[in-house]
Amino acid sequence: MDLVKLKTILDAEYSKELPISFIESDPVQIPRSFSLKQDIEITAFWTAMLAWGQRKTIIDKSKALFNLMDNAPYEFIMSHNPKDLERFAQWKHRTFQYTDTLYFIHFFKEYYQNHDTLEAAFLVDGQFEAKMSISQFHELFFASPLAPHRTKKHVATPARNSACKRINLFLKWMVRQDSKSGDMGIFNSIRTCQLKLPLDVHVLHSAKALGMIHAEKTNWKLVETLSNILLDIDPNDPIKYDYSLFNLSKSR
């Protein structure tokens, strides 16, 4: 399909009125319920990392997790004592378990002792380039000698040719500002044109149906291919079409 026709289809889908209930049924509601920047970053990242399975379950599990932090995750992480961590022993989401929770808390405490924003972790010499920056973030996240090997499966990296769907979803939430999809736009050093598509099976199916790709499996190379096609269509904000592709999959 030529780019002009593809743009017409994607723009038409994007311009549709979004149901008011969309954000209420989407995991983005979790970080949107906080006002402190660090709380937004922590809950957005963690919720995105938990984003597999049914959206209602993701929302319920995320709410339960942050309730255990007294709905003040930054304050809890920075000031908890070892006994406070026992409260997480019974919380889990699919394969994300107690060990993973403890390490996430450890990472955030170590990180925020030296930084005011998680955005800095994605900048290489002050710049963002998706593959390099996400790979660097992964190395930073697991730099601690306390990092459990099992937790690495929950934070992807392009260095292993992963599609990095959940990391790209987190960055989309943080970089774009869009009342339609709930994106919050609190990162200032990353441009919307630098984002990559949060590629899941729904988006993959739509992209195939539109003739954009013919691949069967998601990986980083495919993410770059699709993102570049969208960049040709909209050089300023290509990942807004994530909404279009997702919505088209639901209408088929």
Average confidence (pLDDT) over 75-97: 97
The answer to whether 137 touches 122, Cβ cutoff 8 Å, is yes
pLDDT of residue 24: 82
Helix (H, G, I), strand (E, B) or coil at 124: strand
pLDDT of residue 19: 59
What mean pLDDT is reported for the chain? 94
Helix (H, G, I), strand (E, B) or coil at 40: helix
Average confidence (pLDDT) over 218-225: 96
What letter represents residue 242's amino acid? D
173-198 residue pLDDT tens: 999 999 888 999 999 999 999 999 99
The answer to whether 39 touches 72, Cβ cutoff 8 Å, is yes
Average confidence (pLDDT) over 105-109: 98
Q: Kindly state the tokens that stand for 172.
A: 């989309």
Instruction: Please state whether the predicted TM-score (pTM) of the whole model is above 0.85.
Output: yes
| Res 105 pLDDT > 90 | yes
13-32 residue pLDDT tens: 988 866 556 778 899 999 99
Rg (CA), the chain: 18
Rounded distance, CA 45 to CA 252, Å?
30
